Amino acid sequence: MYESTFTGSMVGTGPTMFAVWGYVIANTKPPGIVELNPTLLATVIGCSIEDITTTINRLCAPDLESRGKEFNGARLIKVGAFLYDVPRWAYYRGLRNDDERRAYNRDAQRRHREKMSKEMSMTVIERSALSAQAEAEAKAEALKPITPLPPLLSTGSIEDRKKLLAEQVKTLAKQKP
């Protein structure tokens, strides 16, 4: 049932009207067809068959004060022995879908915020730990002793200097991880 049901042109029509209309809303199937057997409804709702028949006829009648102007405000159109078309079924279905969509979006947004909150707090802790670890490793690397290299010979042949330079490069390469 929708809030507008209780504030529109059905106000003052009695409990049987609202009970039958609630049944219509709950039992209408795509594409907007509902089966209304007065004998069954009288048993389900707890009133006379005549009350149900009168109510169904009123729902089929034009209602010029209805918010829905399709079919002169008639809420039902008889299409078979017990079958009725609900002309505004798509509208009511859309209301339900809007409500469901809003509820889904609220829930999804709540889950997203919880996830982001957890990720943000975990990220801060992890970043702090990672930062501390990286800083400690950098300090340890900076304090690591490096074997001093002998000075390049200023005397001797170019070949001797190249050999010595190659050995120094190898020594440095071994010291770096």
DSSP 148: P
Q: Could you count the other beta carbons within 10 Å of the beta carbon of residue 78? A: 15
pLDDT at 25: 87
Domain ranges of the chain: 3-87, 101-144, 147-177
Q: Which helix (H) or strand (E) holds 45?
A: helix 38-45
Residue 27: phi and psi, rounded to 5, are: -115, 0
- The CATH T-level fold of domain 3-87 is Arc Repressor Mutant, subunit A (1.10.10)
The model's pLDDT over 79-91, given as tens digits with 9 standing for 90+, comes to 999 999 998 887 7
Contacts of 99 (CB under 8 A, 6+ apart): none
Region at 80 (left for phi over 0; alpha for psi -120 to 50; beta for the rest): beta
Q: Is the predicted pLDDT of residue 70 greater than 70, yes or no?
A: yes
Q: Is the pLDDT of residue 5 over 60?
A: no
pLDDT tens for each residue of 96-111: 666 666 777 788 788 8
